[in-house]
Amino acid sequence: QKEVEQDPGPLSVPEGAIVSLNCTYSNSAFQYFMWYRQYSRKGPELLMYTYSSGNKEDGRFTAQVDKSSKYISLFIRDSQPSDSATYLCAISWNFNKFYFGSGTKLNVKP
């Protein structure tokens, strides 16, 4: 069983829509949960990270962790064409080793 699973998409939404991206993970011991955005042929850039459970908001982005369900989510409000990218979730015990999801490709249509 993989440590983290992510629906690869692609996900296509109209501009302004609310986007929901999700991952599930296998081991409840994971404590750090990250979301990265990767544009084509570029390295990933960190969007948000969350420690343990709960929500974290940053502008149009909200990260949510449900440790009881081993489920993490990223919500994007008022999505823009510039949000079109691949979104990767990542989990870690201690920031020393990350396990990445396969990435969800998002396309926001103008």
- Please report, as ranges, the residues that interact with another protein according to CB under 8 A: 6, 8, 36, 41-46, 49, 88, 94-98, 100-103, 105
Residue 27 CB, shortest distance to another protein, in Å, is 16
β-bridge pairing 19-25 and 71-76: antiparallel
Compute, in degrees rounded to 10, the torsion defined by CA atoms 85, 88, 89, 90. Answer: -140
Nearer to another protein, 68 or 96 (CB): 96
Nearer to another protein, 75 or 99 (CB): 99
Nearer to another protein, 6 or 84 (CB): 6
Q: Which residues pair with 71 in a beta bridge?
A: 24, 66
Residue that has been written with the tokens 């249509």 in this structure: 109
